[in-house]
Structure 1
């Protein structure tokens, strides 16, 4: 969630403050994974190597999920160990953990990963796609077309490919929950982020189509604005945010 009201906020957007009486900046009782019971449930988190994706994978372990698949382009050995440790420290049964190498931009890679998950788990109850990138802050004219489009390749095409391959597995599960990590960027305009922010808006709209097309089969799609989290994707030395911080201090 956003920092306390009145403090500097790098990306303040609609709904950050006025609509709730209480703003949380850390895990609270209603969303504490150690109070959940997901025994028997299977989850898959793409983009799980770091940041929000890694944290969400650990939360699945803390919530007693029985089977957890994690995917990324990078090495996942440390994440797999951390998942098991998180379950043990929370006093939960150690889950079956499956690491899959995948590139969310590539159809064959995504399909191979989900085929492996299907062979090992048979179904999925929760899918979280947190794989994302952000472009350097620059104007449209000064931007690189290849870099600009690569953001859409990961954030939008990746969300589509993960959804396309995982929905059949979700419909075999019990929770049928499909989650795409969006951003406050879907609702605000920061000059210089013309690829990232429109892409996040596209993801939000795409989940509405998933809901409409599969509502009769029980699919529950979400596009989640996770709050203003200072994750790996937002660097403290990003020039735009440094300038904005100085002008507001």
Structure 2
């Protein structure tokens, strides 16, 4: 599980552990947060380890998979939730350095993780990438982030077809506005209130809402394959 130390990722780790999965929490730099997630899982009788890795670094990702295989005996589910964003900057003002930073993690990182997952996940397993409802909403200020997630969706759907005959499902989850620190800290209150009122359900999503969708794709959803599931309360 990449991006498992905070927000949606952390809630997903807890949800998968509750379903009986042993979980590797792959994190970029927040060691204390990752260790806290592991402690939370183990305190409830689950199994988890934390591994630091830059998901765009092939060797670091290989090492994370190898550590998982050594610790737990194999890989059945890979959830790639790690990502970065920089909302609010119009395309005409966005620097190429910032564009490259976003695409390095969101596109290259998704490719590296998906490639290793495709090589290692056992039959009956699942690969779950994270997209975003930005690919449908197309709000101004999200050109770099939205284009990166569009690439993730395409990559995910193609990989599902490339794994024909392997009994491995490959899907993407596309959350809408969700009450995480990433969202709340990067948006003014006016925008938060507006987005919270936009879905027919008239609220922001919660990390638990998204974790339920991931758990579905990771476990019982064996006939859902090559799909993007938009978990956004009907906003798009």
TM-score (ref. length: structure 2) = 0.75
CA contact (8 A) 1:181 1:224 kept: yes
Other-structure match for 2:41: 83
State the alpha-carbon separation in 1 of the partners of residues 189 and 98 from structure 2. Answer: 18
Q: Secondary structure at the match of 2:105?
A: helix
State the alpha-carbon separation in 1 of the partners of residues 41 and 46 from structure 2. Answer: 8
Point out the structure with max Rg over C-alpha: 1
Q: Secondary structure at the match of 2:171?
A: strand
Other-structure match for 1:3: none
| Shift in Å, 1:123 | 1.5
- After TM superposition, list the pairs within 5 Å mapping 1:58-97 onto structure 2: 58-65=14-21, 67-73=22-28, 74-75=30-31, 76-85=34-43, 88=44, 94-97=45-48
Other-structure match for 1:42: none
| Shift in Å, 1:245 | 3.4
**Structure 1: runs of 5+ lacking an equivalent:** 1-44, 89-93
State the alpha-carbon separation in 1 of the partners of residues 186 and 63 from structure 2. Answer: 37
Other-structure match for 1:146: 97
1:46 aligns with 2:2: yes
Other-structure match for 1:135: 86
CA contact (8 A) 2:90 2:141 kept: yes
Aligned pairs, number: 194
| Shift in Å, 1:244 | 8.3
| Shift in Å, 1:240 | 9.4
**Structure 2: runs of 5+ lacking an equivalent:** 199-236
Higher helix share: 2
CA contact (8 A) 1:236 1:242 kept: no
1:205 aligns with 2:154: yes
- After TM superposition, list the pairs within 5 Å mapping 1:206-225 onto structure 2: 206-225=155-174
Q: CA RMSD in A?
A: 2.3
CA contact (8 A) 2:82 2:106 kept: yes
State the alpha-carbon separation in 2 of the partners of residues 96 and 79 from structure 1. Answer: 11
Distance 1:176 1:62, change over 3 A: same
State the alpha-carbon separation in 2 of the partners of residues 114 and 241 from structure 1. Answer: 42
State the alpha-carbon separation in 1 of the partners of residues 60 and 160 from structure 2. Answer: 25
